[in-house]
Amino acid sequence: MADEKQCPFCDCSERVLKENDLAQVILSDPHKVPGHLLIMPKRHVEKPWELTHDELAAIFDLIFFVEQKVIGKLGDGCDIRQNYRPFNELGVKHVVFHVLPRSQDDYLYKVSEQYEKDLYVDLDDMERDAVIDLLK
């Protein structure tokens, strides 16, 4: 498949820090915070819902492993993120979970997230009902 040939995560064995049968861990480069790790399936998968249950278990085994390693060393907590943005043509299409060590008022908070609290608005009935209908 052409996408796999051009995928930087399908050929990153020299960057792997930890792995199991179905998933692997590398450092994010570039990164948002020190210790920003990427956990991904070894198989090229583009949509998170296309991961098998075994791959999900393998990925989350590694996520929880690295979380326990970095908490208390690189941060006081962690964020786990998975972004599915097919509209981002420049982005890598290989499913990746980000583990970001976090601390109170850390760099990421100071440059970005302190402004996010202004994004929160009260949920209105029409929006709530629309999402409830969508999930039926």
Which 3 state secondary structure label does DSSP give 39? strand
Query: Contact 34/120 with Cβ under 8 angstroms?
Result: no
Please say which residue, 7 or 80, places its beta carbon nearer to Zn ion: 7
Contact region for Zn ion (CB under 5 A) — 19-27, 63-71, 75-83, 90-98?
90-98
Question: Can residue 9 be called a binding residue for Zn ion (CB under 5 A)?
Answer: yes
Contact region for Zn ion (CB under 5 A) — 14-22, 88-96, 97-105, 124-132?
88-96
Q: How far is the CB of 5 from Zn ion (least distance, A)?
A: 9
| Residues listed for the chain | 136
Cα→Cα distances 70→22, 33, 67, Å? 22, 12, 5
Q: Give the whole-angstrom CA distance, residue 84 versus residue 94.
A: 10
Q: Which of 15, 18, 32, 44 binds Zn ion (CB under 5 A)?
A: 44
Contact region for Zn ion (CB under 5 A) — 19-27, 51-59, 92-100, 103-111?
92-100
Query: Contact 100/81 with Cβ under 8 angstroms?
Result: yes
Please say which residue, 24 or 106, places its beta carbon nearer to Zn ion: 24
Which 3 state secondary structure label does DSSP give 80? strand
The binding site for Zn ion (CB under 5 A) comprises 7, 9-10, 44, 94
